[in-house]
Amino acid sequence: MNLSPIEGPAAWEGPQIDWQKEGLHMLSPEQIGEIDEALGHLRSLGDTDFAEIGPEHFPLPTLGGFLAGLAERLRTGPGFLLLRGLPRKRWQLDDLARIYVGLGCYVGHLSPQSYQGELLGHVIDLSDVEAQARGYHKGGAQRMHGDNCDIVSLMCVRTAPSGGICRIASAAAVHNRLLVERPDLLDVLYGEYVFRRMELDAEFGDATLVKNVVIFSRDSGQLTCNVSGSYPHRAVTAGDAAMTTPQIEALEEMKRMSASPDLYLDMEIREGDIQFLNNRTILHGRTGYEDATDIARRRHMMRLWLEVPSWPALPRNQGVHWPEERPLWLRQRRPFMELPSRYLAEMSRRKLELAH
């Protein structure tokens, strides 16, 4: 394969980019006022489920235009943006979730995040409640990875007492570093790996448990990346595949480079901040952290997966979850199941039950 470096604003290196200049939008008092009025309008319509919320339910006369153009900005620019200035404590937690969905629906279509069909996820340590907690329900550090959507977004509800910094890296910069230092391994990452998905995602989806996936691709017209540290190793453990030595080394080298201080960028996310990432071009993870014992006081991020129909389709051999599975996952969803008050109360109840 004739490989060449990726050029343009997507190929940034952490220490050399002024992220507050390139990717920070401070909400003005007028925009916060619009959000407040939009929430009032939404509440006036009665109990509206997240699945039913669209721009017409959450009218934003001026901020709406900025948000509607954000997807294209993420596709053609550095690939990240932090929305800051939302007064976190002005609203009850359920209303904060309604605001988050109301803002997000301008950027893209809400996508289910697992076989359970949740449209709004809760990134919180529940490893003492769930026997087989997934990555976003485990505490501690998280290695750099990608999710399975066009845009992944996080809203900070509560920070950890210490640590838990959001870390991002440009997949294009990692690609270019590999091209210089280990072109042999970069070539491997353009080839297929065997991924074994989570069993319940497959069972409630299209029943395909094992998929062949490429890490890097240019088939959409620009570099796209989809990397998971766990799925290829799950395939090996289950006997679905045997990774070659170069394949293992390529994943490890990519992991090392994306966690290198001369490539990654640490973003301080304060309570009320909302981060938007182009999941095709940005790798994300977090540092380790200390947490509270009480579930209601733990580090808590709400998460949206957004799909952007105007973007070029992701190559078929780069998706872990295919678009036709989303309606199948949504069959498990119950209205209002993601409301934070209900969700946290249920998790606290389960923890109490386990203690007895």
What mean pLDDT comes out for the span 197-202? Answer: 95
Neighbours of 239 (CB within 10 A): 8
| Residue 304 maps to a domain | yes
pLDDT at 134 over 90: no
What mean pLDDT comes out for the span 72-89? Answer: 97
What mean pLDDT comes out for the span 231-249? Answer: 96
Rounded to the nearest integer, the mean pLDDT of the chain is 95
Decide if 312 contacts 305 (C-beta within 8 A).
Answer: no
State residue 356's pLDDT score.
Answer: 75
| Residue 297 maps to a domain | yes
DSSP 89: G
Decide if 42 contacts 58 (C-beta within 8 A).
Answer: yes
DSSP 116: T
State residue 132's pLDDT score.
Answer: 80
| Residue 254 maps to a domain | no
Q: Which residues contact 127 (CB under 8 A, 6 or more apart)?
A: 133, 137, 138, 139
| Residue 27 maps to a domain | yes
pLDDT at 229 over 90: no
How many separate domains does the chain show? Answer: 1
State residue 5's pLDDT score.
Answer: 96
Decide if 279 contacts 30 (C-beta within 8 A).
Answer: no
| Residue 183 maps to a domain | no
Separation CA 177–CA 158 (nearest Å):
35
State residue 241's pLDDT score.
Answer: 93
> Model-level pTM?
0.96
What mean pLDDT comes out for the span 211-229? Answer: 94
| Residue 337 maps to a domain | yes
pLDDT tens sequence across 292-348: 999 989 999 999 999 999 999 999 999 899 899 999 999 999 999 999 999 999 998
The CA-based diameter of the chain, rounded to the nearest angstrom, is 62
Which range marks the domain in which residue 147 is found? Answer: 14-173+265-350
SS3 355: helix
pLDDT at 355 over 90: no
Decide if 178 contacts 253 (C-beta within 8 A).
Answer: yes
What mean pLDDT comes out for the span 183-190? Answer: 97
| Residue 286 maps to a domain | yes
| Residue 275 maps to a domain | yes
Where do we find the tokens 């780069």? 318
What mean pLDDT comes out for the span 52-67? Answer: 98
CATH number for position 314: 3.60.130.10
Neighbours of 176 (CB within 10 A): 22
